[in-house]
Amino acid sequence: MTKTIRIDNLQYANWSEKIFRQMRDGGVHGVHVTIAYHENFRETVLNIEAWNRWFEQLPDLIFKGSTGDDVRLAQQTNRTAIFFGFQNPSPIEDDIGLIEICHSLGVRFMQLSYNNQSLLATGCYEAEDPGITRFGRQAILEMNRVGLVIDMSHSADRSTLDAIDMSTRPIAITHANPHWWHPALRNKSDEVISALTAKGGMLGFSLYPHHLKDGTNCTLESFCEMIAECASRYGAQNIGIGSDLCQDQPDSVVNWMRNGRWSKEMDFGEGSATAAGFPGMPEWFQNSGHFGNIENGLYATGLDDAQVAGIMGGNWLRFYDENFRPAT
């Protein structure tokens, strides 16, 4: 068993035994996996069924995680606990009661919007952001009650600031980087990250090339220096990894992520007509087996043991412990 807890708080791979073995090779004890982009409730249940089959078939590698203690169990037994999340509120449809149902099924993170306007909040690609909606306010209350974490990774700024303000429990931006490091639309402003972390929220650093300075060619040094600067600005206890690893996915999947069933015209999201597919990952982070590279890179910046351990997983673990159970 590796010394420190490692958690990757966002992946959406084309799951396979190979990938689960790489999680173990990388000493990754907890992974938050996306199980829905645009799926409705019934379709999401089918995705959970598919995960249940993985758990049944590969119990020596993975199991379903519900609480922080499951990450500890994974560390003790050399396995990986898998935590479910949604990148869009489509699985709850227009029904607030589905929030508790989804929590009962193991869902622990839900983005309030994904690029577009949702029933709850505005996505980061809309021209206007009117803020959290009437349903959104009710959903935030209910998510706080049952222990389903609000994720604003793909939401627009006003909605994000509203959610941080309205939520009585810390929220998360599971996979994004600071806009001051790489000014992508999906990366977050200093104002947003400051507000998030001031209330105990967590930022997970993304390794998706469109979120990286120099894209696929981003250096490990640049990525880790950015993290060290975030530790200095926002507190080393409020940051972690959310790699956004989309390993082995065909390009049809990025089309689904971007277009769902909402558009007949192709939307290229962070890509473009000439670079429509998944971009190549940096050579130092091709899969979960490469987590040690990040740990080494963080040490090289001068961060201390406790800071590195927190960023590699301890901070997410504390956040899981505090935010996955019903409010008391």
CB nearer its own copies, residue 85 or residue 269: 85
Question: Which residues lie across from 83 on neighbouring strands?
Answer: 32
Query: How far apart are alpha carbons 267 and 265 in whole angstroms?
Result: 6
CB nearer its own copies, residue 147 or residue 310: 147
**Least distance (Å) between residue 108 CB and its own copies:** 14
Binding its own copies (rule: CB under 8 A), the pick from 28, 35, 48, 312 is 48
Cα 216 to chain centroid distance, Å, stands at 20
Q: Are 244 and 11 in contact (CB under 8 A)?
A: yes
Binding its own copies (rule: CB under 8 A), the pick from 14, 17, 43, 46 is 46
199-218 mask for its own copies (x: CB under 8 A)? --------------------
Rule CB under 8 A: say whether 14 interacts with its own copies.
no
Structure tokens at 27: 């000493």
**Least distance (Å) between residue 327 CB and its own copies:** 11
Number of residues that make up the chain: 328
Q: Are 32 and 64 in contact (CB under 8 A)?
A: no
**Residue 78 CB coordination number (10 Å):** 13
User: Euclidean distance between the first and final Cα of the chain, in Å?
Assistant: 34
Q: Are 204 and 242 in contact (CB under 8 A)?
A: yes
What CA–CA distances, in Å, run from 232 to 276, 297, 300?
A: 36, 16, 15
CB nearer its own copies, residue 102 or residue 298: 102
134-163 mask for its own copies (x: CB under 8 A)? -----------x------------------
Site for its own copies in 60-119 (CB under 8 A): 95, 97-98, 100-101, 104-106
**Least distance (Å) between residue 243 CB and its own copies:** 27
Rule CB under 8 A: say whether 43 interacts with its own copies.
no
Query: How far apart are alpha carbons 220 and 233 in whole angstroms?
Result: 20
**Least distance (Å) between residue 48 CB and its own copies:** 6
The residue behind tokens 């839900």 is: 110
**Least distance (Å) between residue 46 CB and its own copies:** 8
**Least distance (Å) between residue 72 CB and its own copies:** 20
Compute the Cα dihedral for 172, 310, 184, 293 and give only its sign: negative
CB nearer its own copies, residue 53 or residue 261: 53
User: Which positions lie near its own copies, rule CB under 8 A?
Assistant: 41-42, 45-46, 48-50, 52-53, 56, 95, 97-98, 100-101, 104-106, 145
